Amino acid sequence: MSEPLSETDLPAPETSSPVLPETVEELLALGHRSLDEQSFHEAQRAFEKVLTLDPSHAAARHNLGYALERLGEAAEAEAAYTAALEGPAPLSQAAFNLGVLLANAGRESEARRAFEQALALNPHLPLAHVNVGVLHARAGRLEEARQCYQRALELDASCAAAQLKLAHLLLREGKWDEALHEYDRLLQEGVAAAAVHVGRGHAMAARDEEEGALQAFQQAVAVDPTSVPARMQLALLYAQRQDYEEALRTLQPVADAVQDDARFFYNLANMHARLAFREGELVNDGYADAAVREYRRAIAIDAHLLKAHYNLACVSAHLNVQDGIAAWEEYVRAASGAATEQEWVVKARGYLRRLKEIDTAR
């Protein structure tokens, strides 16, 4: 016979959702208030009821899409945004939000069409021009991207997103001085986002101003301690100075938050590996084990990151002969078809041969 439930174990009484208003005006007010309060389920209920009363209400359908998007219901949000564009009075904001949703899903050509639809409905949307520019830049169409950013700035000279993307574009083109000028202008205007400091750091590093770059990346981390790009670049600069402990301390705080960045884990593993060895000799098994773990995480994300395979084998061979054999075989399999790796494959086969001889002799 089971033990009786204590009072604290008793199920909570069921609570019904609040009764919704009956008029479109009251429902819209409730929906907007719920969005402001980030009560997205309540907003969803309000806008859905508006649509039962008035199925052609485009603004309610758009707002329903936004609430669904914030609830993580991407497919339903896309359907709502699309429906808001199919009526007699399509909303430019619905097209814009649809573009953002599609871009975040990696559907870039569809996203570009959505942003262009938003601009056809309302040409005076600076952020739509910026987002079209971003998609051009990702596709390598840099001149088209520049034109989009400049158009956004014509519409709104204080559009920080356009200024920042234009600075990034100059950086990408190797125009370090011009890029640095744009980043400094953003800071002077009070835009102190981590991305601005990271961009400054890249520009200064490209001009061989290592100390200035270090300070810029430190400022980026101070502004946003969760910025992975800032911490990555800062750690690499510490590593350049052979301060691997500081590099490791820089990367560790965000390691659990990183999901799919193979290079992050590759660099994290490298810092562990540097601390595991001194003059080619293994001096710390704990750091070596951590390096192996992080190299494997990098490979799990990107099996074509051949440097991670190679370094994994180097470390594994010092820890355990069998693990070293397996890791070198794994590297040879992964790298044999890569023309740029053939010199390293030859070395790997030599290491593998020696390890097998050691294993046989035991």
The arithmetic mean of pLDDT across residues 255-277, rounded, is 96
Domain 258-362 in the same topology as domain 192-257? yes
Q: Where are the domains of the chain?
A: 192-257, 258-362
pTM above 0.75, yes or no: yes
Q: Are 73 and 101 in contact (CB under 8 A)?
A: no
The arithmetic mean of pLDDT across residues 316-321, rounded, is 96
Show the tokens assigned to 117: 């639809």
The arithmetic mean of pLDDT across residues 291-312, rounded, is 97
How confident is residue 117, by pLDDT bands cut at 50, 70 and 90?
very high
Show the tokens assigned to 53: 């009363």
Angle at 282 between CA 280 and CA 283, to 5 degrees: 120
Q: Work out the burial of residue 26: count CB atoms within 10 Å of its CB; fewer than 13 is exposed, 13-18 middle, 19 or more buried.
A: middle
Cα-Cα-Cα-Cα dihedral sign, residues 273, 279, 285, 287: negative
Show the tokens assigned to 346: 């030859």
Compute the distance between CA of residue 97 and CA of residue 90 in angstroms, rounded to an integer: 13
Q: Are 25 and 50 in contact (CB under 8 A)?
A: no
First to last CA, the chain: 61
Half-sphere exposure (Cβ direction) of 188: Cα atoms closer than 13 Å = 7
Query: What region does 338 belong to: left with phi over 0, alpha with psi -120 to 50, or beta?
Result: beta
Within 10 A of 193 (CB to CB), how many other CB atoms are there? 17
Show the tokens assigned to 101: 């949703």
Domain 258-362, classified CATH 1.25.40.10, yes or no: yes
pLDDT recorded at residue 325:
97
* Share of residues in the chain with pLDDT > 70 (%): 95
Compute the distance between CA of residue 133 and CA of residue 305 in angstroms, rounded to an integer: 30
Compute the distance between CA of residue 313 and CA of residue 332 in angstroms, rounded to an integer: 10
State the alpha helices, DSSP H only, in 54-193. Answer: 58-70, 74-84, 92-104, 108-121, 126-138, 142-155, 160-172, 176-188
How confident is residue 362, by pLDDT bands cut at 50, 70 and 90?
confident
pLDDT recorded at residue 18:
72
The arithmetic mean of pLDDT across residues 286-300, rounded, is 98
Question: Mean pLDDT across the chain, nearest whole number?
Answer: 92
Task: Note the pLDDT tens digit of each residue in 197-214.
Answer: 999 999 999 999 999 999
Angle at 155 between CA 154 and CA 160, to 5 degrees: 85
Q: Work out the burial of residue 163: count CB atoms within 10 Å of its CB; fewer than 13 is exposed, 13-18 middle, 19 or more buried.
A: buried
User: Measured in whole angstroms, how far is the alpha carbon of residue 277 from the centre of its chain?
Assistant: 32
The arithmetic mean of pLDDT across residues 312-337, rounded, is 96
The arithmetic mean of pLDDT across residues 225-235, rounded, is 97
> DSSP letter string over 195-237?
HHHHHHHHHHHHTT-HHHHHHHHHHHHHH-TT-HHHHHHHHHH
Which positions ≥6 away from 232 have C-beta within 8 Å? 251, 263, 264, 267
The arithmetic mean of pLDDT across residues 89-93, rounded, is 91
Task: Note the pLDDT tens digit of each residue in 21-46.
Answer: 788 888 899 989 999 999 999 999 99
The CATH code of domain 192-257 reads 1.25.40.10
State the alpha helices, DSSP H only, in 224-341. Answer: 228-240, 244-251, 262-276, 285-301, 306-319, 321-335
